[in-house]
Structure formats: C-alpha cells, structure tokens
C-alpha cells in the first residue's frame, strides 16, 4: 500500500515536470500551434482559450482512460475525437453562458479545440494506456503547461503590441477584474507586429530559445571536451 502511494506521488511529480516544462506541449512538442498563435494576442484571450483547452484535456483524458479497455484499436481515433468533441461542445456552451463576449472574441477557435493535436496526442499516447488517476494528472499538467505558455505569450504580445496588460479581464472574470488593466506610458508606440501572426511566431521562437537557454544554464557543465581533428586541411608546410 505504502509502495503504491509513494510510486503514485513520484509518478505525479514526473508527470508535472513533463507537462509543465520538459515536455511542454506548446514550446517543446510544438503541438496545438494554430490556436496558440492565433488567439494569444492578449492575456484575457490566452487565459480563456487556455482554460477551455485545459478543461477539455482533463475531461477527455479521464474518459479515454475509462473506456480504454472497451475501445478496439481500429476505431480508437474516431472514438477519441468524439469524446474530445463532446467536451469541446460542453466548454463552448459554458463559455456562451458565462463569458459570452469573450466567446465572441475567441470565435472559431473554441470549436477548433477539437482539432488541437495536443489533446488527441495525449489521449492516444498516454490516457489510452494508463489508469484514470494518472491520465487525470497528465491532462491537468499538460493543460497547465499549455496554459502558462499561452498566457505568457499573450502577455508579451499584449504588452508589445498594444502597450497594455490584463486589458478586458472582466470579460472572463467578471466585474472584479474591471480595473486590472495596466498601461505602459503614453509615449510608448505599440508595435502592431506583435499583435499579428508574424509577431506570434517571432515571440514563440524567442520563448523556445529562452527555454533552451535556461535548460542549458541548469544543466551541470560536462567536463571540457576538446574537439579535435574536426577538419583535416592539407597544408603544405607548418604554421609558424
């Protein structure tokens, strides 16, 4: 029993590490780039889409794991897609009910969650092979991993592209968030490119570079290896 508990805690730790950082769906696996790049132009949009994706991911992971013994290999993908579609519809209806304005802004990208390969990928690669509790944690961690990148990206783009931060958070969180908006100085001229798709690509690229940079810094330095004889150049004589 204690064995089990311990292994469960280590397992969930691994899952958290994987989902949040090492195997982050957005900046390592580069999955779900389409919604990632399309709607991450402000924090509120990013948060909205991130939460919706998180919900769908957790729900679909759990259900897929539950039915994993009933579904034959041949039809598993259509089944998974149907599960995901159901949860997406739920998320969509919920957003329509509670955050209608945001729903309108995010528009097509909510139903498009169905095609987010991060979700189908997790369902097929992980949830369909693991017990429910692990699938749930995996969905949660992957979802949060996707969410934080999305929010960071959204924040950066909003800041550079519009000169604000947390604008319109009330769309998602209601009136308490009405005054959250931060503005850069009036002298700042927003760089529109950050709001446009090219900006999303550039900033995502920089985020990936940043992650690699941090990883490299954290990694213990390997002992100096001298690269030798990498190039054989025939020279007629000695170098003096």
Partner 1 sequence: MLSSPFIHTKRSTPWVMQQVALALMPAIVTSFYFYGWAVLSNIVLMIIACLAFEAFALTLRKRSLVSLGDWSAVVTALLLAMAIPPAANWWLIVVGAGLAMLLAKHLYGGLGLNPFNPAMVAYVVLLISYPVQMSQWIDPAQSALSLSTTLDIALFGSPIDQYTGATALDAVRHNAGLTISQLAEQNPATAWGAPHHFVSLSYLLGGLYLLARRIIFWQLPIALILGVLVAGVFVYDGSSESALSPAMQLAVGGTLMGAFFIITDPVSSPTTTNGRLIAGAFAGVLIVVIRHFGNYPDAVAFAVLLVNLCAPLIDYFTLPRTYGHSKAKRATDE
Partner 2 sequence: MIKVHTIPGGIHPETHKSMSNGSAAERIPTPDRLWIPVSAGLKYESEPIVNVGDSVKRFTQLTQPKHAFAVASHSPISGTVAAIEMRSVVAMPERQVLMIAIDNDGNNESERRAPMALDELSGAQILDRISRSGIQGQGGAGFSTQIKIAASKQVTHLIVNGVECEPYITADDRLMRDYSDDIMLGIQCIAKAMQLTQITLGTEDNKPQAFEAMQNAAAAANINMQWGVVPTKYPSGSEKQLIQLLTGQEVANGKLPADLGILMLNVGTLAAIGRAVVHDEPVTERLVTITGEACERPGNYWVPLGTPIDALQTFAKDGAKAQWIQGGPMMGVRVTDTTAPITQVTNCLLIQPAVKSTSEMPCIRCSACYEACPMQLLPQQLLWHAKSNNEQKLKAHNLFDCIECGACDYVCPSDIPLVQYYRAAKDELRAAESDRVRSEHARNRFEQRQARLERIEQEKIAKREARKKAAEAKKAAKQVDSDTTTSDKPKAGLLAAAMAKAETSKAPALSAEKLTKQVSNLEAQLIHQQQLLEEAGDDEKRAKIDARIKNTRIKIDQAKAKLASIDDQEQPNA
Residues that bind partner 1 (CB under 8 A): 187, 189-194, 196, 198, 202, 234-237, 239
Q: How many CB atoms lie within 10 A of CB 140?
A: 19
Residue 71 CA from chain centroid, whole number: 28
Site of tokens 């729900």:
59
Q: Which does 232 bind (CB under 5 to 8 A by kind): partner 1, partner 2, none?
A: partner 2
Of the two residues 79 and 202, which places its CB atom closer to partner 1 in the complex? 202
**Does 235 engage in binding with partner 2 (CB under 8 A)?**
yes
Site of tokens 């139903």:
111
Q: Closest by alpha carbon to 154, among 204, 115, 189, 198?
A: 204
Shortest distance (Å) from residue 233 CB to partner 2: 5
Shortest distance (Å) from residue 196 CB to partner 1: 6
Of the two residues 70 and 189, which places its CB atom closer to partner 1 in the complex? 189
Of the two residues 220 and 237, which places its CB atom closer to partner 2 in the complex? 237
Q: Closest by alpha carbon to 33, among 166, 208, 159, 193?
A: 208
Shortest distance (Å) from residue 225 CB to partner 2: 19
Structure tokens at 168: 């319109």
Of the two residues 98 and 201, which places its CB atom closer to partner 1 in the complex? 201
Q: Which does 1 bind (CB under 5 to 8 A by kind): partner 1, partner 2, none?
A: none
Instruction: Tell me the C-alpha distance between 65 and 69, whole Å.
Output: 8
Q: Which of residues 204-233 bind partner 2 (CB under 8 A)?
A: 231-233
Shortest distance (Å) from residue 239 CB to partner 2: 9
- Count interface residues toward partner 2 (CB under 8 A): 8
Of the two residues 108 and 235, which places its CB atom closer to partner 2 in the complex? 235
Shortest distance (Å) from residue 237 CB to partner 2: 4
> For residue 182, what are the β-bridge partners?
165
Instruction: Tell me the C-alpha distance between 114 and 120, whole Å.
Output: 8
With a CB cutoff of 8 Å and minimum separation 6, the contacts of 137 are 11, 12, 15, 16
Shortest distance (Å) from residue 183 CB to partner 1: 18
End-to-end CA distance of the chain, in Å? 73
Residue numbers of the site for partner 2 (CB under 8 A)? 231-238
């Amino acid at each position: 029993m204690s064995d089990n508990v311990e292994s469960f805690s280590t397992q969930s730790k691994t899952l958290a590490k994987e989902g949040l950082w090492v195997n982050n769906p957005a900046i390592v696996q580069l999955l779900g780039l389409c919604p990632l790049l399309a709607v991450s132009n402000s924090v509120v949009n990013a948060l909205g889409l991130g939460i919706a994706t998180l919900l769908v991911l957790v729900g679909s992971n759990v259900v897929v794991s539950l039915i994993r013994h009933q579904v034959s290999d041949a039809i598993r993908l259509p089944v998974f897609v149907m599960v995901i579609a159901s949860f997406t519809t739920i998320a969509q209806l919920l957003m329509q009910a509670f955050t209608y304005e945001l729903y309108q802004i995010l528009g097509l990208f909510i139903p498009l969650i169905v095609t987010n390969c991060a979700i189908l990928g997790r369902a097929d690669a992980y949830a369909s092979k693991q017990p429910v509790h692990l699938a749930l944690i995996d969905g949660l961690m992957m979802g949060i991993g996707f969410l934080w990148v999305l929010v960071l990206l959204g924040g950066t783009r909003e800041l550079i592209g519009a000169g604000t931060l947390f604008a319109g958070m009330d769309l998602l969180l209601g009136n308490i968030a009405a005054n959250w908006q931060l503005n850069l100085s009036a002298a700042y001229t927003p760089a529109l490119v950050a709001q446009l798709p090219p900006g999303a690509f550039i900033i995502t690229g920089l985020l990936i570079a940043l992650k690699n940079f941090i990883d490299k810094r954290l990694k213990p330095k390997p002992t100096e290896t001298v690269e030798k004889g990498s190039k054989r150049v025939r020279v007629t004589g000695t170098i003096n």
